[in-house]
Amino acid sequence: MEATAAVMERERLTAEMAFPPAPAVGGGDKKPPPSIVIKIRRRLPDFARSVNLKYVKLGLLSAGFPSPSTSLTLATPVMAAAAAACYYYASFFNLNLDINVAATCATWLCLAALLLAVTYLNRPRPVYLVEFACYKPAGNEHEITKSEFLDMAESTGFFNTEALEFQTKITRRSGLGDRTYLPPGIQSRPPRLSMVEARAEAEAVMFGCLDSLFAATGIDPTRDIGILVVNCSLFNPTPSLASMVVNRYKMREDVKSFNLGGMGCSAGLIAVDLARDLLQANADSLAVVVSTENITLNWYFGNDRSMLLSNCIFRMGGAAAVLSNRRADARRAKYRLLHTVRTHKGAADECYRCVYQREDGGGRVGVSLARELMAVAGDALKTNITTQGPLVLPLAEQLKFLKSLVLRRVLRARGARPYIPDFRRAFDHFCVHAGGRAVLDEVQRSLSLGDGDMEASKCTLHRFGNTSSSSLWYELAYAEAKGRVRRGHRVWQIGFGSGFKCNSAVWLALRDVPPVCAGDEEDGERRRMRCNPWVDSVESYPPKAYM
């Protein structure tokens, strides 16, 4: 038993026993002994068990602990001030100063002024999120209910009985609602799987949210956009998706375009991080980030259960955002980017292969989700939030953590447990990637979050399904649609992706964002509402039965 308990602890497994009622034998009152059902579940790690100080150090360095060059820059003004003070008091008391001392004081003052000027000119440029838009088809176009999805799967004739039963069970437990979207190539009977259909899906999603974004901001894409980053994991045509955007909007010849592929559901935050670095290196620039995923050519028509999960939860969607480093945009921007933290666990084989595109036994290509996915995701999440702690936590929380650290590592106090900070004191809004209901429930449990903290993520999963890297923007749009975003609020976006990666971004709200509602608003308000995909359904969320 001890060996079994050790294995379950190492593999992060939990066991649940159930005693279903047994039927009577022969119609009489005598019943056989009740059967025992044992369910083994993989759960996220208990973050209160241990804290890896290596990642705390990474966070401290990211928080701005001074490097030697920075220390010199900061020390020089202090030394110059001291030299100036000595010279002043010597002159005040009529002390005789050597000419070299006076020259030294003057030199220090000039050097201090020079270094301060260099530091000011080389300071990081603030990066603003001016506006973002999420894709939503017009009306009921491309909508599909859960029953229609199951009928569609059965009508294709590709799935055996066991595969259909598995998809039925997963669909009913997935947390998806009856208004998600699938591209027409998949919904057609028989399915139309071609490059033409895949391009049509990509164009509908990318151009749909970009048209709304440019209309709402008044940005002219032909002359204003200097940086373009597009991310899509599984569809990488030639010319690239980024080139499709450049061609559609006739962007400048010197636009810096990037196309990120194969980076999973967390690629949206990687794209934001890349855009931020490019904006730091290019003054007075606008960057557009487009995050999407393509379903048409990546639907799985085999019977491998590990690959059928993606069919049940992934749906059509995308988002686009305008980032700026122009100080003039601070007046109209919604958010300022505070931090990005990226965690990559790909060095470990079990992490690298837990989300893996491969062929099944019949030669059909699909994305396989390993049984270890929950444990891998939990480990990556733990590393990410441990690194991020020094960047975002209030001073009181950091002092409590420091106290527990001293008790355990310095004083060797018995029974002293590590203090796990309360991240609800650091953030006002949580946008956790809507990868699936089980994932969201485990994240909520592990971080001790309330139902209100997870409302945006769970409602996004219910209304739009798993839209891959763009799901974080649907969740932020939900908070805005409800009118909950206020000036000074902090937003935490965190996504998981193949590789295995866990990436996060922290935004500071620069102004109150009014709620959206259907009605006759002014032209500017209508354009803003077209960016928000919740305008026609936010009043019906959250569904009481779902939350």
Question: One of 86, 282, 344, 517 is an active-site residue; which one?
Answer: 344
User: Of 424 and 71, which is predicted with more confidence?
Assistant: 424
Closest CA to 127 of 342, 390, 330, 341: 330
Q: What is the pLDDT of residue 397?
A: 77
What per-residue confidence (pLDDT) applies to 67? 44
Cα distance between residue 203 and residue 216, in whole Å: 19
Q: Which two tokens stand for residue 11?
A: 């593999």
Q: 222-271 pLDDT, tens per residue?
A: 999 999 999 999 999 999 999 999 999 999 999 999 999 999 999 999 99
pLDDT at 119: 59
Identify whether 142 is a catalytic site residue.
no
489: annotated active-site residue: no
pLDDT of residue 521: 47
Q: What's residue 411's pLDDT?
A: 74
Local structure of residue 17 (DSSP, 8 states): E
Residue 331, Cβ density class (10 Å: 0-12 exposed, 13-18 middle, ≥19 buried):
exposed
In this predicted structure, the answer to whether residue 415 has a pLDDT above a threshold of 60 is yes
DSSP letter for each residue of 29-88: S--PPPP-EEEEEE----TTS---HHHHHHHHHHTTPPPHHHHHHHHHHHHHHHHHHHHH
Residue 143: name the closest of 152, 130, 134 by CA. Answer: 152
Tell whether the model's pLDDT for residue 16 goes beyond 80: no
- pLDDT at residue 531 is higher than 90: no
140 secondary structure, DSSP code: T
Q: Any catalytic annotation for residue 339?
A: no
Task: Please enumerate in sequence order all residues whose Cβ is within 8 A of that of 441, keeping only pairs 6 or more positions apart, or say none.
Answer: none
Is residue 433 annotated as a catalytic residue, yes or no? Answer: yes
pLDDT digits (tens, 9 = 90+) for 67-110: 444 444 555 555 556 555 555 555 555 545 555 655 666 676 67
The pLDDT score that the predictor gives to residue 117 is: 65
Give me the chain's average pLDDT, please. Answer: 82
Would you call the peptide bond into 34 cis, given omega within 30 degrees of 0 as the criterion?
no
- pLDDT band at residue 428 using 50, 70 and 90 as cut-offs: very high
From the list 98, 74, 75, 72, the residue with the least C-alpha distance to 86 is 98
Instruction: Give pTM, 2 decimals.
Output: 0.81
Count Cβ atoms below 10 Å from residue 81 Cβ, excluding itself.
13
Q: CA 148, CA 179: separation in Å to the nearest integer? A: 11
Whether residue 265 lies in the annotated active site: yes
In words, the CATH class of domain 128-392+427-546 is alpha beta
Q: How far apart are CA 506 and CA 504, in angstroms?
A: 7
Instruction: Give residue limits of the domains in the chain.
Output: 71-123, 128-392+427-546
**Residue, of 50 and 300, whose pLDDT is higher:** 300
The one catalytic residue among 134, 462, 489, 532: 462
Instruction: Write down the catalytic residue from 231, 325, 354, 429.
Output: 429
Which of 466, 502, 503, 531 is the catalytic position?
A: 466
> Residue 123 pLDDT > 60, yes or no?
yes
Q: What is the pLDDT of residues 272-288, one digit of tens each?
A: 999 999 999 999 999 99
DSSP secondary structure letter of residue 253: T
Of 525 and 155, the structure prediction assigns the larger pLDDT to: 155
Q: Stretch 535-545: mean pLDDT, rounded?
A: 86
| CA-based nearest residue to 187, from 153, 157, 164, 163 | 153
pLDDT at residue 40 tops 50: no
Cα separation of 240 and 248, whole Å? 12
419 confidence band (pLDDT: 50, 70, 90)? low
Say what percent of the chain tops pLDDT 90. 58
Q: What is the pLDDT of residue 66?
A: 44
Q: Is 150 exposed, middle or buried (0-12, 13-18, 19+ CB in 10 A)?
A: middle
* Least confident segment among 135-139, 309-313, 386-390: 386-390
Q: Spell 290-313 as b/e; 16+ CB within 10 A means b.
A: bbbbbbbbbbbbbbbebbbbbbbb
